Amino acid sequence: MSDAAALSRFAAAIFPLGCPADADPAELNAHIRAELSPQRFVSFIEDKDVSILLAEVDSKVAGCLLFACHRAHPLVPAKHPYEIEKLYVDPAFHGRGIADALMSTAISGIEAQSADIIWLSVYSGNPRAIRFYQRWGFDIAGTHDFVMGTERHKDYVMRRGRG
């Protein structure tokens, strides 16, 4: 549980930075409590189809990436899809290659599993993240709503691979 609690604290601190600036704080906090709780990370850790990569600097979590196999999306048809579900880097470590190292390791591992598509969802108003994913060969497949409580935000669904 200590790993799950540490991941939960890290994700809860970083997640709001990629959200719309006008997101309702109550909805944001409710989402964090539900989706980034220690119990949720326990379920990720125990799920054989989920992998979590960590980047640490001086024994401090600097970034994490979570990916899952066999998660399809209607905009990204595939026989062997993988989803990059979460990629968080502490802003104190931006520009130090943490995100690139995590992405490189994830893509290498995913491609070794014969994935035909890697996809992810990113807030459409986060140009820095979108540029990062495009640099890694992802293109926009379409949009979908990211539901956070009663709020709906437009996310891009991005893909890399055949499909």
Residue extents of the structural domains in the chain = 49-161
> Which helix (DSSP H) or strand (DSSP E) does residue 87 occupy?
strand 81-89
Each residue's pLDDT, cut to its tens digit, for the chain (163 residues) gives 578 999 999 999 999 988 888 899 999 999 999 999 999 999 999 999 999 999 999 988 999 999 999 878 999 999 999 999 999 999 999 999 999 999 999 999 999 988 999 999 999 999 999 999 999 999 999 999 999 888 899 999 999 986 5
Residues 6 or more apart in contact with residue 91 via CB below 8 angstroms: 14, 17
> Which helix (DSSP H) or strand (DSSP E) does residue 2 occupy?
helix 2-14
DSSP one-letter code for 19: S
19 vs 54, 115, 147, 154, CA distance in Å? Answer: 22, 29, 12, 11
Is residue 16 within 8 Å of 144, Cβ to Cβ?
A: no
CATH class of 49-161: alpha beta
pLDDT tens digits, residue range 99-136?
999 999 999 999 998 899 999 999 999 999 999 999 99
Measuring CA to CA, which residue among 63, 46, 47 is closest to residue 55? 63
27's tokens: 């909805």
Entry pTM: 0.92
Q: For the sheet containing 117-123, what is the strand order? A: 50-57, 60-69, 81-89, 117-123, 151-161, 139-148
